[in-house]
Amino acid sequence: MDAKKDLRKSIKKRLSEISLPQYEDQSYRVAQQLFKTDEWIEASTVAVTVSKVPEVDTFQIIRKGWEQGKRMVVPKCEPKPRKLDFRELKRFSELESVYYGLLEPIVSETESVSPDEIDLVVVPGLAFSKDGYRLGFGGGYYDRFLANYQGNTISLAFKDQIIPEVPIESHDIAVEKIITSEGVIIIGD
Ligand SMILES: Nc1ncnc2c1ncn2[C@@H]1O[C@H](COP(=O)(O)OP(=O)(O)OP(=O)(O)O)[C@@H](O)[C@H]1O
Ligand SMILES: [Mg+2]
Mean pLDDT of 156-172: 95
Q: Are the beta carbons of 126 and 167 closer than 8 angstroms?
A: no
Higher per-residue confidence, 189 vs 156: 156
Whether ligand 1 lies within 6 angstroms of the CB of 138 is answered as yes
Whether ligand 1 lies within 6 angstroms of the CB of 140 is answered as yes
Query: Which 8-state DSSP code applies to residue 56?
Result: P
Q: What is the pLDDT of residue 132?
A: 95
Q: What is the pLDDT of residue 100?
A: 82
The CATH number linked to 46 is 3.40.50.10420
53-76 pLDDT, tens digit per residue, is 889 999 999 999 999 999 999 999
CA–centroid distance, 97 to ligand 2, in Å, is: 24
Whether ligand 1 lies within 6 angstroms of the CB of 144 is answered as yes
Q: What is the pLDDT of residue 189?
A: 65
Whether ligand 1 lies within 6 angstroms of the CB of 171 is answered as yes
- For residue 134, give the 3-state DSSP assignment: strand
Q: Are the beta carbons of 168 and 133 closer than 8 angstroms?
A: yes
Distance CA 113, CA 118 (A): 8
CA–centroid distance, 32 to ligand 1, in Å, is: 30
- CA distance readout (Å), 69 to 55, 100, 106, 135: 25, 31, 22, 32
Nearest residue (CA) to ligand 1, atom 11:
140
Which residue range(s) make up the domain with 178? 2-186
- CA distance readout (Å), 87 to 1, 24, 44, 71, 189: 31, 27, 14, 10, 33
Q: How many domains in the chain?
A: 1
> Global pTM?
0.96
